[in-house]
Structures are given as structure tokens and as C-alpha cells.
Amino acid sequence: DTAVSQTPKYLVTQMGNDKSIKCEQNLGHDTMYWYKQDSKKFLKIMFSYNNKELIINETVPNRFSPKSPDKAHLNLHINSLELGDSAVYFCASSRQGGRETQYFGPGTRLLVL
Amino acid sequence: AQKITQTQPGMFVQEKEAVTLDCTYDTSDQSYGLFWYKQPSSGEMIFLIYQGSYDEQNATEGRYSLNFQKARKSANLVISASQLGDSAMYFCAMSVGHSGSARQLTFGSGTQLTVLP
């Protein structure tokens, strides 16, 4: 059973396109996250979201937007893709409060040409 | 602002020996959590171990233990009896925030561990 899943695993697209990455968790968690891992393997938070608040990292361009149809899903929409958006995007989820270990999805490798 | 520092970009260890991966952190919060994740070459992020700032005992999970020294603001990962499958990138991370809020992880730059046969 996959706890946190992401689709697609690989995404190759042209500059200027709009794309979405889907994330689903079956852990019953109420908080979900998106992280970006760059070519140097550095991981940085983009968004965290639960039913009460959306926290946006101030460095994230507004071309990126999270959308949550329900508690188990947090999708990432990216408009007008740029070359610098090429990276691995990880979704994660956790419970709220206490020892909130975050469990990560397998990652989506995005390549913008 | 929170910061995690991993000063060892790469480490080598002989199979069956123990290895320590260094991590220091900086935060003004009193309540925080420290995590270690493993990222093998296949790319997934695997949770290894957690230490809360108020935990008095060092965390242990199988062959992994966390050497938590609060006064020094360090949270080193110790892997005992290294195995070839331990070869991977290891990330130290910290979360801060109040109970009930979404706690974002701040990651270090990682340490690439290679286990030699």
C-alpha cells in the first residue's frame, strides 16, 4: 500500500506550458506539503496546507499554486513553466500537532525544455 | 529563522563499522523537532528517526540512533554496523511551530554516505 503517491513520476514539457502534479495520501493525515529539490539536492518547502491554513513560502513564484479538493489530496499547479522550474517535487503529509513526522511521496521529476 | 548545517558533503565507511553524520541547528524556538531522512539513488525520501526538543533520552530506531546535545545544538545521526544498502544521501531536518499548526521542515544540505565492502 502506497502511503503518499504522486503522479506523474516524470514530466517533460516545454517552456511556457501549464502543468499539474497530483498528490494523494492514504494515511489519514490532515496536513500536506510540497517541497522542491533542486539539482544540488537542496530541499526547500514550498507550501504547507491543512483545513485551517495555507502557508506559502515567500520565495515561491505565484505561478505555483496548491489546490486541495479534499483532505487526502494536494495538487500542485504550475503556470507558464520556466527553465528554472526543472527540479524534483516532493509531496509529503503529516498529522497535526505532537510528533509530526512527515512522510514523503516518491517525487516527480520535472524537466522544462 | 531556522537553519540546519551539515558540514560533511561526503563520508566513507567500511562495511560493518559505525559512522556518525554531523548536524547542527539554529533556532530561537524552544519547541522543535529534529529528523533524519535517507535518500537512496532511487530518489525517495525515507524517514529514519525523530528527536523532540523536550525528549530527555536520545532517540533510537534499530541501527540508527540520534546523539542529541541540546546545549551544543547538535543532532548527529549514528549508524551502527553499516551495510552496503546504507549508501545514500542523508538529510537532517528541523521543524518548529506550535502544536496545531503546520510544521514545515527546514533541511540541511545533506551528506552523501558511501559504504565500502
Cell 517541497 sits on residue: A35
Among A42, A52, A40, A110, residue whose Cα is nearest residue A77: A110
| A99 vs B26: CA distance, rounded Å | 19
**What digits encode the pLDDT tens for the residues A17-26?**
999 999 999 9
**What digits encode the pLDDT tens for the residues A19-68?**
999 999 999 998 899 999 999 999 999 988 887 778 778 789 999 999 98
Using the beta-carbon criterion (under 8 Å), do A45 and B104 form an inter-chain contact? yes
SS3 B85: helix
Q: Which of A104, A109, A111 to mutate to test the interface with B (most CBs of B within 10 A)?
A: A104
- What's the pLDDT score for residue B40? 97
| B32 vs A13: CA distance, rounded Å | 39
Using the beta-carbon criterion (under 8 Å), do B50 and A97 form an inter-chain contact? no
Question: Distance (Å) from the C-alpha of residue B83 to the closest C-alpha of chain A?
Answer: 23
- What's the pLDDT score for residue A19? 97
